[in-house]
């Protein structure tokens, strides 16, 4: 009977020192809560911001679903759910690029800006996946290409066309754009660090053996939820100013 119960038990045990399992679990709940928050807030600001907040909610919702699977995958196999991780990113990171476009639309941002950022983010992630999962021996090469695409995104939003549009828009849009730029420069830099910490023979153990997945999970929570909250704040503040 006991064996039978064990075999039908659907919930895997999580050890007290399993930080990866723990952060997958908390990450999943945080993404779900953030999604509910963004979706339910939809009527609290001006109509023109709705798509932006919808996208914020979609980003955390897609992540919540992937965290659900990653949590399970980790609990069952005790190995990195690299595949789910990158499927999550390849859906959510381009949406974050769309977010830049949406808030800059007031200053006349063109679709080409969005396409460019999306294209760069896809290059960044596909090459990252090749280095992390397929061509492990050439992790440096793929990491390098990925890093170049990352810097091209950073350049575009900090100094390129996107920056000019943000300056032209001014006010709350410029403020929000600046904060989002910091997210990309500092918050997104967490990932290449995780990549290096997870590549054998590189910086394994730089964080006292803290697993790559913990680094990615913390990065995701900061970037996806934080990013969404910046856009939420912009919508609320800009709407109240418009009313006044």
Nearest to 86 by CA among 117, 68, 64, 63: 63
Q: Which stretch binds ligand RET (CB under 6 A): 47-55, 103-111, 189-197, 235-243?
A: 189-197
Q: Which residues contact 5 (CB under 8 A, 6 or more apart)?
A: none
* Per-residue mark of binding to ligand RET, 67-96 (x: CB under 6 A): ----------------------x--xx---
Q: How far, rounded to the nearest angstrom, does the alpha carbon of residue 107 sit from its chain's CA centroid?
A: 25
User: Given the complex with ligand RET, which of 106 and 123 has the nearer CB atom?
Assistant: 123
Please identify which residue in the block is written with the tokens 């990866």. Answer: 20
Which residue in the set 195, 211, 213, 230 belongs to the binding site for ligand RET (CB under 6 A)?
195
Indicate the residue among 160 and 192 with the shorter CB distance to ligand RET: 192
The contact pattern for ligand RET, residues 149-168, with x = CB under 6 A and - = no contact, is -x------------------
To which residue do tokens 């990615």 refer?
A: 216
Site pattern 107..146 for ligand RET (x: CB under 6 A)? -----------------xx--x--------------x--x
Instruction: Report in angstroms the alpha-carbon separations of 236 from 40, 64, 178.
Output: 14, 24, 17
Question: Which among 108, 113, 102, 118 has a CA at the least distance from the CA of 234?
Answer: 102
Residue (132 or 172) nearer to ligand RET, CB: 132
Residue 224, interface with ligand RET (CB under 6 A)? yes
Determine, following the binding rule CB under 6 A, whether residue 192 of this chain makes contact with ligand RET. Answer: yes
Burial (CB < 10 A; 0-12, 13-18, 19+), residue 194, is: buried
Count of CB atoms within 10 A of residue 48's CB? 14
Binding residues for ligand RET (CB under 6 A): 89, 92-93, 124-125, 128, 143, 146-147, 150, 188, 191-192, 195, 220, 223-224
């Amino acid at each position: 009977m006991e064996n039978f119960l064990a075999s039908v038990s659907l919930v895997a045990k999580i050890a007290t020192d399993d930080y990866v399992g723990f952060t997958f679990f908390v990450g999943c709940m945080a993404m779900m809560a953030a999604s509910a928050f963004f979706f339910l807030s939809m009527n609290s600001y001006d109509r023109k911001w709705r798509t932006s907040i919808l996208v914020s909610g979609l980003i955390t919702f897609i992540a919540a679903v992937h965290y659900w699977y990653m949590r399970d995958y980790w609990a069952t196999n005790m190995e990195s759910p690299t595949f789910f991780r990158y499927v999550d990113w390849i859906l959510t990171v381009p949406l974050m690029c769309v977010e830049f476009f949406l808030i800059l639309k007031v200053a006349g941002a063109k679709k080409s800006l969005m396409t460019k950022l999306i294209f760069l983010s896809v290059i960044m992630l596909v090459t990252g996946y090749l280095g992390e999962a397929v061509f492990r021996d050439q992790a440096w090469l793929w990491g390098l290409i990925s890093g170049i695409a990352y810097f091209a995104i950073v350049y575009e939003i900090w100094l390129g066309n996107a920056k000019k549009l943000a300056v032209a828009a001014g006010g709350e849009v410029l403020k929000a754009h600046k904060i989002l730029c910091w997210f990309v420069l500092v918050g997104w830099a967490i990932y290449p660090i995780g990549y290096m910490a997870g590549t054998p023979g590189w910086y394994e153990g730089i964080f006292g053996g803290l697993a790559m997945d913990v680094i990615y999970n913390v990065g995701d929570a900061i970037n996806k939820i934080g990013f969404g909250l910046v856009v939420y704040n912009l919508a609320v503040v800009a709407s109240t100013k418009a009313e006044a």
